[in-house]
Structures are given as C-alpha cells and as structure tokens.
Chain A
C-alpha cells in the first residue's frame, strides 16, 4: 500500500477564551490517530488562524470556543479560507455551543460541530472519512 500523506489539522482557539483543556486533549488524540497536528495556542484572530492553515497546508481547521463567540468567529474563519482559495479545507468546531446555533453555523460552511461529551473517536472518524473526499 502506498504511504498516504498524513492528514494535517490546525487546532485553534479563536478570541480571548482561555478554556483549552479540550483543544489540548484533542490535539493529543488527533496525533495518536496518525494526524499531523498544529495547536495554535490562545488568542487567535481569524486572520491568524487562516494564515497558519495556509502556511501549514492544512486539511482541517478545528475551532474550539467556550465563551459564546462561535457565531462570530467560526463563519469568519470559513469566509477567510474561501477568500484565500482554501475552500477544500474542512472547518469543524467544538465547545459550549447551543444546539440552536448549529444550523446557522453549518449553513455558513462549518462542516460539523461536536458538543461536550462527544466521544473523541467520533470526531477522529468524522475527520478521517471527510478529508480529501472531493
């Protein structure tokens, strides 16, 4: 079997939110599942996140937000990725996100959202089965 290029994922914390337990945990779990992971750290603007995605030639951007700012940041990241010609980069999100916001976020181009309590293998499986599909 030919060695396939590893999936590359950027895990990012947009805004000023400091809750990074989930982001760090998932970074480790993504790495263990064979992905290449770049964790941005805290206080990222959408521009910084997209710049990292571009530099790293990412397949996936995972956004984590627990401070209620997902409706602003997530669509903004999708929009900037498009503007840079990176439509094929999958954007997924997680954190404290009310279910009623899911539809709007998905419409804006966020591929999937994972709330608290989601088994991590579910997230890994989703990413693996959705990357480079198009």
Chain B
C-alpha cells in the first residue's frame, strides 16, 4: 500500500512525535496507563500507515461483492436497499403475537422474527410438567399446526420472510410453516426465511438442547439437505455467535467459535455427500453488536474475510456465494442495564450504527427495558425507530464500507482475523469443534472472559455508566409488560381439545412412520411434515426422537 521510503519517513516522524507527547506526561498524563477495548485488546495511542504496512488492497480488502468480501457481500450494499429490519418478537398466545407482528409490519418492519417460548424450544408441549410457569413467557407458545395458523393469520408468507429462533426442533416448526404456506397457496419454492437450527451453540452456551450431539447434528443436516432440494430460498441454518458473546466471549472469540461451529456443519454436510457449492450459499450467520463501534466493525470485517478464506482454501468452494458470510445482527442484550434504563436507547443506537457500518444483512435492535422485563410496545417502537434513524439519517448507508482504510479499523481487523485463525488452529489440533466442545474448552474460554470482564467492572478498571459511575437513586420503573399466567391453562385446554378431535388413525400412522424413518438413515423432513399435518404436536414429535436418540445431559464446566 505504501512506498518503503514514505513509511520510513512516517516512522521517523512518529518516533519524534511520541517523544514529545511523552514529555508532556509530567504535566498532563493520559487517563490511564493502558487502554483496551471491551474485549481486552490493547489500543494504541495513535494508528498510522505503519500499522497496516503489510496490507495489500487487492488481496486483503478487494471490492464489495468480491473475494475475500472484507468490504461487504454485495456490490452496492445499502445504496441498493437497507438491511432487513427484523425485530425478534413473540409472547403469550399465537393470537397475542400475531397482533404484535401486524403492528410491526405496519410500522415499516420488513421481515418477521419469531420468538418461541421455552417449552417449544425445548420440545415440550404446554401441558408438560417442565413447562410449568414457562408457557408464553419469553416467546409465543406453539404446540401444533393450529397455533401456527393463528400466528401467521393475515400475513402473506410468499411476500414476508420469517426468521424462526428454533434449534433442536427446527424441522418441526419449519414443517408447520411450510404446511400453512401451502394452505395459503404459496408453494415451497416461494417461501423464504431462516431457521436457527444451530444446535452446537445450544450445547456450549444457550442451553436449549434436547438430543446428544451426533443425533441433533443429523436432524440439522436433514433440514439443510431437504431445503436444498425443496425450499431453495430458505436459509437452512443461522450459525450463531450472538449467544456466545452474550455469555461473555470477546469479539474475537465470538467470531472464532462461531466459525468453528460453521466448520463442523460444513464437515457434516460434506460427509452426507453434499457438494459444498450446493448448500454453502444458504448458510447464514447471526452475530452480536456491542457498544465499542470500531471494534465491532473490525470484527465483522475480519469474520467476513476469514470465512471467505476458509470456504475457498479449506473446502475448495468455487461459487463465490459459498464464501459469503451473510449475517443477521442483534444488539447486545447483555450490555443493557436495569439502572437508568433510558440510557439503553443510546447504547442500542451505537450498536445499530456499528452493525450498519459493519455491513449486516438484517438487524434486530433491542428495547431499552429488556434488563427489566419483556419489551413493552413503546420500547419496541423506539428500538425499530432507532434502526430507521441509522438507516435514513446517519449517512452510514450512503457509501459502502465507509471505515475501510481507517488505520485503526484495518489494524483491528487484521488483529481479530489473526485471533480467529489462531483459535481455529488450536481447535483443529484438538480434533475439531465437537471434541473442543466435549472437552469443555470453548465453554471455559468463554467463562474466563466473562470473569475477566466482571472483575474489571468491580475494580472500576472499566466504566459502565449507571453501574460503577454516574449512579443515582431512581424510582422503580412501572408499566412493565406482564404475561398472563393463565396462558398456560388456556394452551393446555386447547391441547386437550386437539388431541380429542384429531383423526387418531392418521395421527398414529404419521408418528409411527416418523419413528421408522428416524431409526433409518432416511431424511426425516417428509415424515415430519406429514406428522404436523396430522396434527401431531411439537412435544409428541420430539418425544419420538427422545426415544430414538436419547437425551443430552451436559457436563458442567464451572
């Protein structure tokens, strides 16, 4: 990038400048001895061409839409169209949530994102003993195709794309979605959306696992394989770093462990006999955005470059789409404070700005009240408006990858990419991602970072506004969203009725067939779709698999 002679000149001048600056420290010292990002990465006083002296523009940055995609996966990015504004939402019954979806679409939201309650995510029906108290709490309660019909009532599934945060039971919920789309008159190749379907991070950090790793990976790959042939517009997995970061990981760890999971999925699909260029273009990712804007931007750029290289060099992908790291971003839930909750609006604003500058494909902005309760309608509206302000007013969307060439951001991008690659090398040496998870290596690395951060806060080495500085007495917040505890009873009643009224012969035959297919090596998706059409419930289908595959019991690494 720079001529050797010019660099030498800069080096000499910088040394002189450093000397002068440090002389002034006797009178005016810097605020602290060492500056670090929230991830603990040291930050220099000043970045100059010297920090990116090795950069080769064509090789390392290239152009948007071109390998290694550092500058973005599309040529025009937001000059073409903005990211998809997709607010994760769901609570109470399917009817309650359907109303929130219609409201959000009316407010200019461009895609849906379904939050399921924990029983649905863990594969239990609303009347299961473990569902006690949880029905309709953190998401919508879905037991059967009947609930799903209500959830999407009046929403055209050939036009709106839907992202579903569902993992171990992903094929069941996708089956329901496809079946009702079909009823609406939309064919499988018209519907578009995403299922999270990322079971590995459930095991490491998120906790909504059901089956042992090998069995649950088989279901994941079945879904990918089925969609490849039948639902071509579907994003078959959303390989998630979001929860890895929420659990305490640094920016580089978030990307490293997510790409490590990605490698495990690609390996599993290749082992199934799929050609990498057929399924890789439908892989998508999901990341966090914290408040340190520049570190986040560097993180996104580094991961795009790292994934492109992995797909090209490790898997010999030929299709450029296989190399593109396409991703959804959600702002950092764990960064929100219960103290002075309106301050969170600003945090979310910065995080959304980071996501835009980093080149995301879709975005969820958190509501300011989420450290207190499930978001209220007012808070959800402010959150959506926040991304609309970033999109329409900030200017971040007018040119592609605006921070490229910034000495600091490029140096950080290189640094994070190096950290990612170092971790991947270490994980490879251990025998791969599954072994690293089995040994608790990934879990422990994340927990150590969480611990370091907590210690920094408590020793005031890192300042958190409203937590360890600028604290104040404030009245308790009122008007929080409350989910009616009776949702559980209502859902249980509905289930009782469904079980009594469905065609028993058809239902039993469908579940028997599902069991048979699950015991074989056949793809389970067609049998799942038949079962949901025969009104088998999420819990019943997941129980068949609990029987066939067994259940996962984690070792605890504390």
Contact residue among B122, B372, B374, B478 (Cβ-Cβ distance under 8 Å from A16): B122
Q: List 12 A-B contacts (CB under 8 A).
A: A16-B118, A18-B206, A19-B246, A20-B247, A27-B558, A28-B558, A37-B558, A42-B554, A69-B133, A96-B372, A98-B480, A117-B338
4 tightest A-B contacts by CB? A18-B207, A72-B133, A16-B118, A99-B476
A121 in the interface (beta carbon within 8 A): yes
> Which residue of the partner chain B has the closest CB to A121?
B458
Contact B207 A19 (CB under 8 A): yes
Report which residue of B133, B246, B483 has the largest number of chain A beta carbons within 10 angstroms of its beta carbon. B133
Contact residue among A18, A24, A116 (Cβ-Cβ distance under 8 Å from B447): A24
CA distance A44 to B25 in the complex (A): 56
A115 in the interface (beta carbon within 8 A): yes
Q: Which residues of B contact A67 (CB under 8 A)?
A: 118, 134, 137-138
B273 in the interface (beta carbon within 8 A): no
Residues of B355-384 at the interface with A, using a CB-CB cut-off of 8 Å, are 371-374
CA distance A120 to B454 in the complex (A): 9
CA distance A120 to B476 in the complex (A): 22
Contact A119 B458 (CB under 8 A): yes
CA distance A16 to B208 in the complex (A): 8
B262 in the interface (beta carbon within 8 A): no
Contact B130 A21 (CB under 8 A): no
CB < 8 Å A-B pair total: 103
Contact B137 A69 (CB under 8 A): yes
Q: Which residues of A contact B464 (CB under 8 A)?
A: 117
Q: Which residues of B contact A21 (CB under 8 A)?
A: 246-248, 334, 450
Residues of B within 8 A of A (CB): 118-119, 121-122, 124, 129-134, 137-138, 202, 206-208, 246-248, 334, 337-339, 371-374, 447, 450-451, 454, 458, 464, 466-468, 476-478, 480, 483, 485, 554, 556, 558
Q: Which residues of A contact B374 (CB under 8 A)?
A: 68
Quote the shortest CB–CB distance from A97 to chain B (angstroms).
9
Known: A67-B118, A116-B337, A120-B458. 20 other contacts (CB 8 A): A16-B130, A16-B131, A16-B134, A18-B208, A24-B450, A25-B248, A25-B454, A29-B454, A37-B558, A43-B207, A45-B129, A68-B138, A68-B373, A96-B371, A98-B372, A98-B477, A99-B477, A100-B480, A117-B337, A117-B467
Quote the shortest CB–CB distance from B368 to chain A (angstroms).
13
Quote the shortest CB–CB distance from A38 to chain B (angstroms).
10
Contact residue among A29, A41, A71, A100 (Cβ-Cβ distance under 8 Å from B554): A41
Contact residue among A25, A41, A69, A99 (Cβ-Cβ distance under 8 Å from B556): A41
A109 in the interface (beta carbon within 8 A): no
> Which residue of the partner chain B has the closest CB to A16?
B118
Contact A28 B118 (CB under 8 A): no
Contact residue among A28, A42, A71 (Cβ-Cβ distance under 8 Å from B451): A28
> Which residue of the partner chain A has the closest CB to B371?
A116
Q: Which residues of A contact B468 (CB under 8 A)?
A: 119
Contact A98 B337 (CB under 8 A): no
Q: A28-B451, A69-B137, A72-B133 are in contact. Are A98 and B248 (CB under 8 A)?
A: no
Residues of A61-110 at the interface with B, using a CB-CB cut-off of 8 Å, are 67-69, 71-73, 96, 98-100
Q: Which residues of B contact A20 (CB under 8 A)?
A: 207, 247
Q: Which residues of A contact B207 (CB under 8 A)?
A: 17-20, 42-43
Q: Which residues of B contact A116 (CB under 8 A)?
A: 337-338, 371
Quote the shortest CB–CB distance from B189 to chain A (angstroms).
34
Contact A73 B476 (CB under 8 A): no
Contact A45 B130 (CB under 8 A): yes
Quote the shortest CB–CB distance from A124 to chain B (angstroms).
11
> Which residue of the partner chain B has the closest CB to A117?
B467
Q: Which residues of B contact A29 (CB under 8 A)?
A: 454
